Amino acid sequence: MLYKYRYDIWGAYTKSGVNMHPQVDMERLGIKYVKAEPCPIADCWFIYTEESLDALDLPGYIQFIGEVSND
């Protein structure tokens, strides 16, 4: 089972002033992911983790989508 999150690029920049690549920002936030999938049409990245990120104080531009199968 994997946990899927959405990283909102536009929200990161306009609401939080984040001006770095999403993968660099995720590293800065301490997020360990197994897959990162860009979705340019929606100005976002989908990130998949093996563990829930509930313990982290995630910024508002990263939202939990749901649990997905890792098949």
SS3 47: strand
Task: Indicate if the pLDDT at residue 39 is higher than 90.
Answer: yes
Angstrom CA distances, 14 to 1, 18, 19, 43, stand at 32, 8, 9, 12
Evaluate whether residue 32 is within a structural domain: yes
Residue 49 lies in a domain: yes
Is residue 6's pLDDT more than 90? yes
Domain coverage including residue 42: 2-62
pLDDT at 23: 95
The number of domains in the chain is 1
Structure tokens belonging to residue 28: 């800065």
Is the residue at 53 inside a domain?
yes
In Å, what is the CA distance from 70 to each residue of 28, 30, 52?
Answer: 25, 22, 14
Strands (E) in the chain, as ranges, are 2-8, 35-39, 44-49, 62-68
- Kindly report the length of the chain: 71
